[in-house]
Amino acid sequence: MVKALLLYTSRFCFSDDALMLSFAHGLLISFTLFFALATASQAESLTNLSRQLTIDPSQTSVSGLSSGAYMAVQLQVINSKSIMGAGIIAGGPYRCAAGKYKAAWFDPQGMYAMLNVCMHTNPVTWLPRPNPDVAFSIRETERLAAEQLIDPPSYLAAQKVWLFSGGKDSLIPRSVMDSLASYYQHFIPNANIRYVKNPNASHGMITENYGGSCKLSLPPFINDCDFDAAGALLQQIYGKLKPKATAQADHLYTIDQQVFFDPADESSSLHQKAHLYIPTDCKNGRLCKLHIALHGCLQSEDFVGDSFYARTGYNEWAESNNIVVLYPQAKAWLGGYSLNAEHNPQGCWDWWGYSGEHYADKQGKQIRAINTMLKVLIK
């Protein structure tokens, strides 16, 4: 069974031996954690938890890694009127995977742009790998805004953006991140954009003192690079913050996420659980900010336990700066037996269309679920 899943998922991403090992490790973790999750404590109601909170609606931001980075860009662009900024680690421009490229005829399964342009994960390395078409992303932004499927992009001009690219990241190479920077520069003043380039970092969430080697991309895809990405991106968005404090374990809640989507629709590929960190002062009624942190592929609790939502540094900054942190979760969806774009075996966020044609606008299944959660939190 595990061998079959490994063969299946290898079509979707990693192209070198070390990264293939990460697939095996991640999938084996998922089987191990299945039994622990089956006996996990009852999830809390987000509605009930929100009753103790007072969140400033003008202080909402988002960040993400990899597929979570692509989803963070989507949320930011779709909700540009209400999102104040974003932190993007290893992502690309809006609707990148929908772009049209000459070499796409080599891939009748519809994944050419996803695997060869927006990411470099296709093991067939002789296929052309052009840079993402930034002009297409800009046109799509303007088209969908005109159709009122996303907020007017003029609101992006007031946002603050933080970008991170690792020099050893072979999955989302520098050229893809540069394309994202160019996309942002069309809408956002350069003064509002901070682009960090670390020559030694590989593909993963970047931390100051937790995770694996900075130079490798292996589960749990959290890299100890002696650099606090969570703190850096939050301070780019919100300005100078108080020094981080110890996060309170009993302030990290497991919440019932499945009330925000249709569990019968497997293509939504959303997990039954999300997580929420509530700082001490926020529990006591203080006015607070809200940040959405989005994991990458193979990085939900099914694969890496609490590594992303408890150990990446967000909660420590949140505790001392009154920032409520929402951690939505995607889950794996194997779909049918054919290999095409309408599958999500690694539990990625939808940035290429497996959940339907509206994945990158306000009608998207995952977008609607997250936006509904935000409405519950921001009363």
The whole-number pLDDT of residue 177 equals 98
Catalytic residue among 63, 137, 165, 203: 203
How many domains in the chain? 1
Can 61 be counted among the known catalytic residues?
no
Q: Measured between alpha carbons, how far is 87 from 229 in angstroms, rounded to an integer? A: 9
3-state helix, strand, coil in the chain (%, to 5): 40, 20, 40
175, two tokens: 């050229």
Can 169 be counted among the known catalytic residues?
yes
The whole-number pLDDT of residue 39 equals 34
Catalytic residue among 133, 151, 169, 350: 169
Model confidence pLDDT, tens digit, residues 315-348: 999 999 999 999 999 999 987 555 556 689 999 9
Sign of the torsion angle spanned by Cα atoms 255, 348, 247, 211 = positive
Higher per-residue confidence, 132 vs 23:
132
Catalytic residue among 66, 80, 179, 355: 66
Model confidence pLDDT, tens digit, residues 6-56: 333 333 343 333 343 344 444 434 443 443 344 345 899 999 999 999 999
The whole-number pLDDT of residue 236 equals 98
Is residue 110 pLDDT above 80, yes or no?
A: no
φ and ψ at 102, to 5 degrees?
-60, -40
Model confidence pLDDT, tens digit, residues 142-198: 999 999 999 999 999 999 999 999 999 999 999 999 999 999 999 999 999 999 999
Q: Measured between alpha carbons, how far is 132 from 137 in angstroms, rounded to an integer? A: 9
The whole-number pLDDT of residue 35 equals 36
Judge contact between 318 and 235, C-beta under 8 A.
no
Q: What is the mean pLDDT of residues 78-103?
A: 94
Range of the domain at 329: 2-377
CB < 8 Å & 24+ apart, contacts of 339-345: 339/8, 339/11, 339/109, 340/109, 340/110, 340/111, 341/109, 341/110, 341/111, 341/114, 342/267, 343/12, 344/269, 345/5, 345/8, 345/9, 345/12
Can 120 be counted among the known catalytic residues?
no
